[in-house]
A and B are shown apart, each in its own frame.
Chain A
Amino acid sequence: MSTNLPSTLLEAKAVAKHFGGVKALRDVSLTIRRGEIYGLIGPNGAGKTTFFNCMTGLYVPDGGAFTFDGAPLVADAPQHAAARGIARTFQNIRLFGNMTALENVMVGRHVRTRAGVIGAMLNTSATRAEEAAIRQRAIDLLHYVRIEDRADDLAKNLSYGDQRRLEIARALATEPKLLCLDEPAAGMNATETEELRELIEGIRHDGTTILLIEHDVKLVMGLCDRVAVLDYGALVIEDVPAVVQKDQRVIEAYLGA
């Protein structure tokens, strides 16, 4: 990693967001480097998910700006974030329940494909070729997250752990440069968490930068290259896990509790 210094992938500058009188984010600035696993932790209500939502365009920030992959990220609509290469999963899993696992991943290809209504109605050869490519890619991704045997099951009938995996596969289908995982280990047992950890490391190894929001401190500290800590909407520290773990403010705000 350190032999070849990674360039910046995402830079947040003084991002602020408030809901009425509640300041959910107070001028948060942080930098995510290409190819790293970046952890974002903090107590409940610290603003982790709010930051996430601002970045992925679900919320419009009240102040500050994001730079992504060398260009400003205009956080106005989530679909633009996806097109730019930011994919996300949700804290409370959001799958397309009444569609099969395979279809869920195929939907993820939407932003990287072109076929329109006319092509579909006429069933042109271009449309058919694209459709076959979408299907193949989706099958490959299901293999990648190891739930290929559940391909034809409805998403809502999958086990909890498999649903998490499916959500990751769907996010990967958009060919993200930055994959944002919002508490992927929530509600998982030790074995499932370990499998998830392997999966996340595999994804990073295959070239995708990862932003990880997580409550499981052990997972974050063991997995992440750098960690940022939020408390009451403000950034406490951003550093390597070894330093963060020893920081007095972090221990007070979070770890000591």
Chain B
Amino acid sequence: MNKWFNPRSAFGVTLIAVALLGLPFVAAMGGQAWVRILDFAILYVFLALGLNIVVGYAGLLDLGYIAFYAVGAYTWALLASPHFGLHLPIWVILPIGAALACIAGVLLGSPTLKLRGDYLAIVTLGFGEIVRIFMNNLNAPVNITNGPQGITLIDPVAFGDFKFSGNTQLFGLTLSGPMKYYYLLVALAILVVIINLRLQNSRIGRAWQAIREDEIAAKAVGINTRNIKLLAFAMGASFGGIAGGVFAAMQGFVSPESFSLMESIMILAMVVLGGMGHIPGVILGAVLLSILPEALRYGVGPIQMALFGKMMVDPESLRMLVFGLALVLVMRFKPAGLWPSPERKRELGEKQAEGKA
């Protein structure tokens, strides 16, 4: 399918493995903040690949994806923090978080089965906001989510005595908390890549794509479009739930403002910009879109100082300006995404050739 992911190319796999293993040490030279940025990049890869199932494969435009992330994050926060005095282990919380997110996915999916495109986007957008507002207000009459203050002192990921927060000495190397999370997240991301790849070329994956292409024709060949669509929502939501759990543990803190509409849009932008339905493209989109704003945050200020000797524009607003411009340029010159699937690329190439003729 793709030479980078071809297991026969052992050299490529080794190269990627070494790069992935060494990356946090390189980043750590610039400070732990960069390792944390890497952590979030991988977390977004995970999220974007989950959303890719819903948007890229099944073609269901979901603008409320962050809601499932929120469900997973709050599940972890409530079951592993002093808030309720519960400290359950990871292999209990993560499945519960994934299952609750999955149920939320089906809850969102069932009333929207007949909607497509813009209409579905509006409903899912509303759903995402509902979940966030729930989290914001569920502190009275019974305090469940602690409202806008959020939940603090959340347990880190731990396997037995091995905690993912704080420093650990291993083989003479000092591993910081963010570095350990990095390896955990990479392992999870590899898992979700494999699942995505396998689903893509499976009976269910083809059924998703068939629904995306033509729902009536899909029904005519006997696909139960209702169940298959719900399955897409449920699968995507479960991945969101798992990512949310890891996010809560990594941050040690959750509050409703982490789950705003902007986050949903960012994840969708990663999928669309990278190349919808194409796994390497989605990964690229997620990495770029999560690192670029951070790089700009650190880069814009010093560059201005060097060029003009003073701050012309507030770095924060310039950062979003450059970011927005980048999005517009990509959509203008690479409408199928930065790294589209070979089929899609070919098709767009043909269109351009026709246009010139």
Q: A: which residues have CB within 8 A of B?
A: 56-58, 77-79, 81-83, 87-88, 90, 94-100, 103, 106-111, 113-117, 119-121, 123, 127, 130-131, 134, 154, 156-157, 170-171, 173-174
Among B213, B224, B350, point to the contact of A99 (Cβ < 8 A). Answer: B213
Residue of A nearest to B191 (CB): A121
Whether A131 and B202, one on each chain, are in contact in the complex, defined by CB atoms closer than 8 angstroms, is yes
Chain A CB within 8 A of B198 CB:
yes
When distances are taken between beta carbons in the complex, the residues of chain A under 8 Å from B201 are 131
- Are B210 and A107 touching (Cβ within 8 A)? yes
Given A107-B206, A120-B199, A121-B198, A157:B347 Cβ within 8 A:
yes
A154 and B204 CA atoms in complex are apart in Å by 19
Q: Is the CB of B198 within 8 A of A79?
A: no
Q: Are B347 and A79 in contact (CB under 8 A)?
A: no
Partner of B204, one of A79, A117, A123: A117
Residues of B within 8 A of A57 (CB): 219
Q: Is the CB of B203 within 8 A of A110?
A: yes
Docked pose: A220 CA to B213 CA in angstroms: 32
| Contacts of B159-209 to chain A: CB distance below 8 A | 195, 198-199, 201-207, 209
What residues of chain A lie closer than 8 Å to B54, measured between beta carbons?
none
Whether A98 and B203, one on each chain, are in contact in the complex, defined by CB atoms closer than 8 angstroms, is: no
In whole Å, how far is A165's beta carbon from the nearest beta carbon of chain B?
15
Name the CB-closest residue of B to A115.
B203
Interface size class of B (residues with CB under 8 A): 20 to 34
List A contacts of B212 (CB < 8 A): 98
Contacts of A95 in B (CB 8 A): 213-214, 217
**Chain A residue with the shortest CB-CB distance to B235:** A117
Contact of B221 among A110, A119, A120, A131 (CB under 8 A): A110
With A96-B209, A98-B344 given, is the CB distance from A108 to B221 under 8 Å? yes
Please determine whether B210 and A99 come into contact, CB atoms closer than 8 angstroms. Answer: yes
B222 touches A117 (CB 8 A): no
Query: B220, A56: Cβ atoms under 8 Å?
Result: yes
Chain A residue at smallest Cβ distance from B346 = A154
B314-353 Cβ-contact flags toward A at 8 Å (1 or 0): 0000000000000000000000000000011011001000
Decide if A87 touches B214 in the complex (CB within 8 Å). Answer: no
B218 interfacial by beta-carbon distance below 8 Å: yes
6 nearest A-B residue pairs (beta carbon):
A111-B222, A82-B222, A120-B202, A96-B213, A78-B219, A94-B217
Bound Cα distance from A38 to B68, whole angstroms:
52
Among B203, B218, B220, contact of A120 (Cβ-Cβ < 8 Å): B203
B223 at interface, CB cutoff 8 A: yes
The interface residues of chain A lying within 8 Å CB-to-CB of B217 are: 90, 94-96
Q: Is the CB of B213 within 8 A of A79?
A: no
Query: How far apart sit A173 and B221, CA to CA, in the bound complex (Å)?
Result: 9
Are B202 and A100 in contact (CB-based, < 8 A)? no
How far apart sit A61 and B42, CA to CA, in the bound complex (Å)? 53
Partner of B224, one of A79, A103, A108, A117: A79
Chain A residues with CB below 8 A from B207, complex form: 107, 110
Cβ-defined contact, B199 with A97, below 8 A: no
A257 to chain B, nearest CB (A): 31
Given A78-B220, A82-B222, A95-B214: A120 and B347 interface contact (C-beta under 8 Å) = no
Question: Can you list 26 A-B pairs with a CB-CB distance of less than 8 A?
Answer: A58-B220, A77-B219, A79-B219, A79-B222, A79-B224, A82-B219, A82-B222, A90-B216, A94-B220, A96-B210, A96-B214, A96-B217, A97-B214, A98-B209, A98-B344, A99-B209, A99-B210, A109-B203, A110-B222, A115-B203, A120-B198, A121-B195, A121-B198, A131-B203, A170-B221, A174-B222
Residues of B within 8 A of A96 (CB): 209-210, 213-214, 217-218
Using known A-B contacts A96-B213, A96-B214, determine if residue A127 contacts B202 with beta carbons closer than 8 Å: yes
Q: What is the bound-complex CA distance between A93 and B254, given in angstroms? A: 51
Q: How far is the CA of A130 from the CA of B204 in the complex (A)?
A: 13
Give Cα distance in the complex from A99 to B209, angstroms.
8
